[in-house]
């Protein structure tokens, strides 16, 4: 019995696999097992895994014919024996204290799920910290997160419109085994989204560690970034809606679900580059009623309307390009106005600094300053 099972689905990941695994093996926390499922890799991924396994008894390799990320995670989950489960991807890395801090928080709070924050990068010298996924310290201010839990009702907007990936969370295995449907859907992209929604909604005790532990690599070869998988997002939307309705959450989340559906469909519109995708999106959007008090930002709301107003994908692309240009021009205008204000403020501060320096000089030249020298010392 180990404290944490780290589960990694591996498919043609040789480029970054060493870096990813090293970040796990170099953890300050040592009581874990590492289960890697080789999902029919055609490169040297399996050889890399076997070289690690020779030197570390915590390493376990399972091979299967290529069945997708969801099937690989499910197989690893069946083999896991740890008190807690941590999913990890083979092209990313985590900081050395990640597992130790997450486990300490989980034990202190008896958590079913521990969530934390993420940084993103293409190149190591260009790390983006602006989209951390779970910036919950802004909601729960002045809390001792080693003695604080919550459930979905307190973080409602993060159920359907946040970081869905399982590597943003540490899960209690007992909790995952308490429901038969805590599994990843097989043969479909974006399979982590239903898993996220189900687990977050059903967890009674969620805790939070306010640190950027996980470093996610923008990888163009990722399964969810290929044009061929775009159509799967409609299936994911249906799976989520069916679950919400069957479990009597839909009325509570109807507005959040609208935002989720619009955002997800728009995200893969251009990358899929399919007239069929566009026509399905147009039909789906025509059935969504957006009220005056909607929470879509202006840009997404305008794109949503563009889908409804245009008749073909090519027409949408032209209008969407024009919208993007106009949006950038508007941002430029705002930045110019902001820049003018900052320049005026800078001039004011320079004048104040000049006056302070002048006052400081006159003070040091005064008799009072000279007389009080010994007292000040």
The Cα 37–Cα 60 span in angstroms is 8
Contact 234, 284 (CB under 8 A): yes
Instruction: Give the domain ranges of the chain.
Output: 4-225, 232-325
| Tens digit of each residue's pLDDT (9 = 90 or more) over 103-136 | 999 999 999 999 999 999 988 778 999 999 999 9
Question: Against a cut of 0.75, is the pTM above it?
Answer: yes
Return the exposure string of 66-89: e unless at least 16 CB atoms fall within 10 Å of the residue's CB, then b: ebbbbbbbbbbbeebebbbbbbbb
User: What is the H or E stretch that residue 68 is in?
Assistant: none
Radius of gyration of the chain (CA): 26
| Tens digit of each residue's pLDDT (9 = 90 or more) over 283-315 | 999 999 888 778 888 999 999 999 999 999 999
Lowest mean pLDDT among 11-15, 208-212, 330-334: 330-334
Lowest mean pLDDT among 160-174, 264-278, 357-371: 357-371
The Cα 354–Cα 352 span in angstroms is 5
Contacts of 340 (CB under 8 A, 6+ apart): none
Residue 270's DSSP bridge partners are none
The Cα 202–Cα 100 span in angstroms is 25
Q: With 70 as the cut, is the pLDDT of residue 44 above it?
A: yes
The Cα 150–Cα 207 span in angstroms is 7
Q: What is the pLDDT, as a whole number, of residue 278?
A: 97
Q: What is the pLDDT, as a whole number, of residue 162?
A: 78
| Tens digit of each residue's pLDDT (9 = 90 or more) over 315-329 | 999 999 998 998 888
Q: With 70 as the cut, is the pLDDT of residue 99 above it?
A: yes
| Tens digit of each residue's pLDDT (9 = 90 or more) over 130-158 | 999 999 999 999 999 999 999 999 999 99
In the chain, what percentage of residues exceed pLDDT 70? 98
Lowest mean pLDDT among 1-15, 170-184, 195-209, 280-294: 280-294
Contact 99, 86 (CB under 8 A): yes
Residue whose pair of structure tokens reads 């997800």 in the numeric block: 264
| Tens digit of each residue's pLDDT (9 = 90 or more) over 187-231 | 999 999 999 999 999 999 999 999 999 999 987 665 545 567 899
The Cα 195–Cα 198 span in angstroms is 5
Tell me the average pLDDT of the chain. Answer: 93
**Residue 371 — pLDDT band, cuts 50, 70, 90?**
confident
Q: What is the pLDDT, as a whole number, of residue 226?
A: 52
Q: What is the pLDDT, as a whole number, of residue 258?
A: 95
How large is the greatest C-alpha to C-alpha distance in the chain, in angstroms?
A: 88
Contact 64, 39 (CB under 8 A): yes
What CATH topology corresponds to 4-225?
A: Spore Coat Polysaccharide Biosynthesis Protein SpsA; Chain A (3.90.550)
Average pLDDT in the 355-372 region? 88
> Is 121 exposed, middle or buried, given 0-12, 13-18 or 19+ CB atoms closer than 10 A?
middle
Tally of CB atoms within 10 A around 164: 22
Q: What is the pLDDT, as a whole number, of residue 221?
A: 63
The Cα 100–Cα 181 span in angstroms is 29
């Amino acid at each position: 019995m180990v404290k944490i099972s780290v589960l990694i689905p591996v498919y043609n990941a040789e480029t970054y696999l060493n870096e990813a695994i090293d970040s796990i093996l170099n953890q300050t926390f040592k009581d874990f097992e590492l289960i890697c499922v080789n999902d029919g890799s055609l490169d040297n991924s399996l050889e890399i895994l076997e070289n690690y396994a020779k030197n570390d008894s915590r390493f376990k390799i399972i091979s299967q014919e290529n069945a997708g990320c969801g099937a690989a995670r499910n197989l690893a989950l069946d083999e896991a024996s740890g008190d807690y489960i941590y999913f990890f991807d083979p092209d990313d890395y985590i900081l050395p204290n990640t597992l130790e801090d997450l486990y300490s928080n989980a034990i202190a709070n008896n958590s079913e799920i521990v969530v934390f924050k993420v940084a993103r990068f293409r190149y190591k010298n260009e790390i983006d910290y602006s989209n951390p996924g779970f910036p919950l310290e802004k909601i729960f201010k002045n809390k001792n997160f080693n003695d604080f839990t919550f459930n979905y009702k307190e973080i409602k907007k993060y159920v359907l419109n946040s970081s869905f990936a399982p590597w943003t969370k540490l899960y209690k295995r007992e909790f995952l085994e308490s429901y038969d449907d805590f599994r990843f859907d097989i043969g479909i992209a974006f399979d982590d989204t239903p898993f996220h929604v189900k687990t977050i909604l059903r967890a009674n005790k969620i805790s939070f560690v306010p640190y950027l532990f996980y470093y996610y690599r923008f990888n163009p070869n990722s399964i969810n970034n290929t044009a061929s998988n775009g159509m799967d997002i409609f299936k994911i939307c249906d799976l989520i809606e069916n679950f919400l309705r069957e479990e009597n959450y839909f009325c509570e989340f109807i507005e959040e679900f609208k935002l989720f559906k619009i955002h997800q469909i728009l995200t893969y519109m251009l990358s899929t580059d399919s007239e069929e995708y566009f026509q399905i999106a147009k039909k789906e959007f025509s059935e969504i009623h957006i009220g005056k008090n909607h929470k879509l930002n202006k840009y997404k709301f305008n794109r949503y309307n563009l889908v409804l107003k245009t008749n073909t994908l090519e027409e949408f692309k032209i209008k969407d390009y024009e919208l993007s240009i106009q949006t950038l021009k508007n941002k430029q205008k705002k930045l110019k106005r902001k820049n003018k204000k900052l320049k005026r403020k800078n001039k004011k501060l320079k004048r104040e600094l000049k006056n302070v320096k002048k006052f400081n000089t006159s003070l040091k030249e005064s008799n009072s300053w000279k007389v009080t020298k010994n007292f000040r010392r």
